[in-house]
Structures are given as structure tokens and as C-alpha cells.
Amino acid sequence: MNEEELLRFIESGENLQVEFKESRDHLPRNFFETVCAFLNTKGGLILLGIDDSGNIKGVNKKVLNKLKKDIANLAHNPQKLSPAIMLSVKEIEIENKAILAVKVPESSQVHKTNNEIFVRNQDGDYKITHPVEIAKIVNRKQNFYSEQTIFPEISFTDFEPQLIARAKNLIRTNNPAHHWLELDDKSFLSRAGFYRKDQSGKTGYTLSAVLFFGTNDVIQSLLPAYKFEALLRKENIDRYDDRLTVRTNLLDTYDLLMGFMEKHLNDPFYLEGNIRVSLRTKIFRELVANIIAHREYMNPAPAMIQIFPDTIEFINPNNPKVFGKLDPENFTPIAKNPTISKFMLQMGLVEEVGSGMRNVYKYLPKYSPDATAEFIDGEEFRTIIRLGKTREEIGEKIFELITNQRNINRNKLLNILQEQVGSKLIEKVGSKLALTQLKILILISEKPEISKKEMAEIIKISTTAIDKNISKLKSLNLLKRIGPDKGGYWQITEMES
């Protein structure tokens, strides 16, 4: 906003979306009542330093920085404003007097100040208490998404062309025949829902467009508190062992957060049929995508990933719909940011809405046998993964049992093999297998890519003896080799299903 635009607002006077407040040295007592009312209605502009009659009084220039800090801090204080919100504050000088222009967005949530709800009409702010009136606000906001907020000041030149090209390449990889690929960049953004017209007739690029394609400076100018954080807290629980702070576009954000997960989480060997599948990717790409696709971006709180020794937490500011722990057997997924979710789907970064929860419950037991997951909806959406014993820890105990030559318990080995494999053929012929053959099958069930040399070192026999026992297992149709000696893996036959 410049001086000319400010004068137009002053000349038009106060209305549904403009409020004047005389403010010389401190914030007006009812400042956050107006903030709350604008958030709950259609958004608006508060001009500090203008009296009710439209006279330019100005703000004391000596306290400008203090007032800006007060606005930012109090907007983050749940006692003053709940849920918290990002407010844009700009200083404008006119007639040698300082004016603070505070832009308040329309919100997708119902806000309170000092535990009271306010809304806006042509006459100003008024408090509502009747449940029916509150329900009307809630119902109206069901179809409002802050990601679709229009910023008329944003132009096509504020976007990074290479990010648009990168998004197109991802879509092309996911669906080579996608009709968006035929469009020029401006038409592409429009078709994808990043340029729109709202009910008032205002047109422009949306917040979701800025989040995907904006420069870092543009993103920070609109969302100064925006960030994602990832923390590793395995050794230093109170502080952290490693930290990643991300304040960039969503394409880079996804890659950086996935890189952090790959850096600090193991990826046990797993086959789906004859195909090697990354359990880490199956589980955690959906959870990373969820905190990107479903967070409330107008909320100043960061989205966070925390990796503890036996727990992984995903936390993002949220526009809650359910409240409480989600039941995977009785849950209807809802896109909190439909444009962002749809675009990530087109790029192949996620599957359909709700796939994250399904994939976690499907693959988590294969990643860590004792693991559990919780999804909790609230003002913060929390996903809590409790890992229990890892496959490596279980494997170490099995290796210890196998290498303990003095107290080898045949029945215990057979039971372990049956639990690991669950094969009817093992059940039928297992009692006839030699101890060495049981050990080989257990080692392969834990590590399909294990080499003959590694088996020999663990079991403490020669590779020639390993060859003889593997030949016997193959003759019983219990074992086969997939691929070459280097780069291939073993498969216990009835594990295919």
C-alpha cells in the first residue's frame, strides 16, 4: 500500500472491511476486538493513527517499532487471540505523519479474543454469544480455505519460472498425457487453481500459488512467521542432535524434509511380491506430505517433525474438523487445503486424500513389528509413531541366538522361523530341517540380500557347507535366488504371497 491508496481508503471512510483507530503511543484497548471481528467475517484493514472522522493524527514515530512488535507478539498469544494468526503490518508516511496499516485476512477458523467472539458489520464490531449465531459462523467457514486467499499485489513476475518447470516435469513423470502440460505457464497456474476470482469479484494469485512458486522474499513478506522445522532428538533429548529449518517454497520443502527423514531413519529391506519397496518412503513421504498439504498457513506456529529414540512426531497448525483421536476404521478424510492437496496429487507426491493414514497402518508393522500410530485432530494436528523394537534390534537377538553354539534350542529356532515366515510348507517340513538349514532360513527372513559369506561367518561354517544346505533348501522348494549373486536377494518361496 502506498500514500495514494491510503488516501483513497481514508476518503471512503470506515466500512465492513476498513476501521480507523486513533493510536498515538499504544495500541487501542479494543484493537484485538476488531482483529477478531475481521478474522471471523471477511477480513479487513485497520489504520492506526486515523481518528473516527478520518482525520490523520499519526502515530508517535518513537514507538512505531514497539507497536509493531506488540501486534506481532499479541497475535501469537493465545490469551489475546485464539487461534493465533499472522498479521501484516506496514508503516506508511503521509503529511509527515506515520500511519500503521494492519491487514487482517479472512480466516478459515472461528477466533476469540479474551475468550469472546466478535464479528463485523457496517456499524463496527459486535460480540456474539448465542450458540445459533456462533454456529452460523462455523457453517460459513466450512467452505472457506485460507490457501485460496487472493493477493492482488502478487504478479506473475513474483514467481520462479524454474519452479513452474519443475512442477510440470513432476506431473509429466506421473502422467505423461496430462492436459495441463499443453498450457503456457500462466494458463497452467490458472487451470491448477492458483489464479481465481472470489465472491466479491476480486481476482489474483492465491496464497497457495505463492507457497509453491514464490521467491523466498515474497513468501516471507506475506507469511513472516512461516517455517517448517525438523529436529533429531536421540542423544540430546532436551535440545537436539540435528536441526533443519525450512522457509522456502513447498517443492523444496518436501525434498528437504524427506532428505532429513532419509538421513536419520533406517530403511529395512522389504519385498512386495518380487519388487523391492522402500518402507521408509511408503510411510514417511505421506506423513511429510500431510504436514505440507493440511497445515493452516495463516497460523504462525511452525509445522514440526521430531525424531526421538523410539517415537516420531509430526505436528502442524491445523483447522480442526473432528477434534480428538481419529479412528482409522471410521474416518472420512477432509482436505484442509484442497488446491495444495490436488496439486501434490497431480505431481505424484501423494496419493488420494486419506492415503497417508492407510499406508501408515499398512506398512508400519513391516517397518517395526511393535510399532503403533496415532492421529489426533485439534488446533495442532499430531501424528505420533511409536516404533517399539526395531527390526535391527530383533535381528540382533536372533543372530545372538544363532551364534550361541552351546545352547541352541531347535524348537525355539523353528518357532522364530514360523513367526518370521508364516509358511505352511515350513510348518510341514520344518521338523525335518537340519539346524544349519533353519539358521539359513532365519537369516534370510531377516536380511534377504545377505551373502553366502556373511551366512558362513555368522553360523561359523564354511561357504561350501552353506552351498550344500542351500541346495537342499532349493530342492525342497523352500528357497530360490532372485537376481545375480551381487545385487540380487534370496526369497523364501511362500513369502511371495
- Any idea what the CATH number is for the domain that residue 18 is in? 3.30.950.30
Q: Are residues 150 and 109 in the same domain?
A: no
Choose the weakest-confidence range: 79-88, 222-231, 421-430. Answer: 421-430
Asked if residue 149 and residue 128 are part of one domain, the reply reads no
Same domain for 371 and 320, yes or no, is yes
User: 131 with 181, same domain?
Assistant: no
Assign 451 a pLDDT band (cuts: 50, 70, 90): confident
pTM over 0.75: no
State the angle between helix axes of 391-403 and 435-446 in degrees (0 to 180), rounded to the nearest 10.
Answer: 160
Asked whether residue 350 falls in the same domain as residue 237, the answer is: yes
For the chain, give the percent of residues with pLDDT over 70. 87
pLDDT of residue 401: 57
**pLDDT interval class at 369 (50, 70, 90):** confident
Q: What is the pLDDT of residue 490?
A: 84
Report the candidate in 98, 99, 71, 100 with the shortest Cα–Cα distance to residue 87: 71
| Residue 489 and residue 401 share a domain | yes
Query: Rounded distance, CA 294 to CA 290, Å?
Result: 6
- The whole-number pLDDT of residue 426 equals 60
Residue 184, domain extent: 145-388
Same domain, 52 and 127: yes
Answer with the one of 388, 408, 432 that is the final residue of a domain: 388
What are the two backbone dihedrals, phi and then psi, of residue 172, each rounded to the nearest 5 degrees?
-60, -40
Same domain, 356 and 486: no
The Cα 22–Cα 157 span in angstroms is: 37
Kindly state whether residues 160 and 114 are assigned to the same domain: no
Choosing from 339, 363, 388, the residue where a domain stops is: 388
The angle at the Cα of 159, spanning 158 to 161, to the nearest 5 degrees, equals 135
Last residue of a domain, one of 108, 142, 176: 142
State residue 277 phi and psi, 5-degree precision: -120, 135
Average of per-residue pLDDT across 242-258? 95
- pLDDT tens-place string over residues 170-184: 999 999 989 999 999
Tens-digit pLDDT profile for residues 188-239: 999 999 998 877 778 899 999 999 999 999 999 888 889 999 999 988 888 8
* Residues 156 and 251 grouped into a single domain: yes
Summarised one tens digit per residue, pLDDT across range 306-319 is: 999 889 999 998 87
Task: Tell me how far apart the alpha carbons of residues 86 and 296 are, in angstroms, rounded to a whole number.
Answer: 11
Per-residue pLDDT, 497 = 41
List the grid coordinates of 123.
Answer: 456499524
**In the prediction, which pLDDT does 52 show?**
87
How confident is the model over 35-53, as pLDDT tens digits?
999 988 888 899 998 998 8
Q: What sign does the CA torsion over 141, 143, 144, 147 have?
A: positive
**Could you tell me the CATH number of the domain that includes residue 193?**
3.30.565.60
107 shares its domain with 125? yes
Domain identity same for 399 and 456: yes
pLDDT tens sequence across 383-418: 998 886 554 554 555 555 555 555 556 666 666 666
- How many domains does one find in the chain? 3
CB burial readout 305-328, b (16+ within 10 A) else e: bbbeeeebbbbbbbbbeeeeebee
| CATH number of domain containing 461 | 1.10.10.10
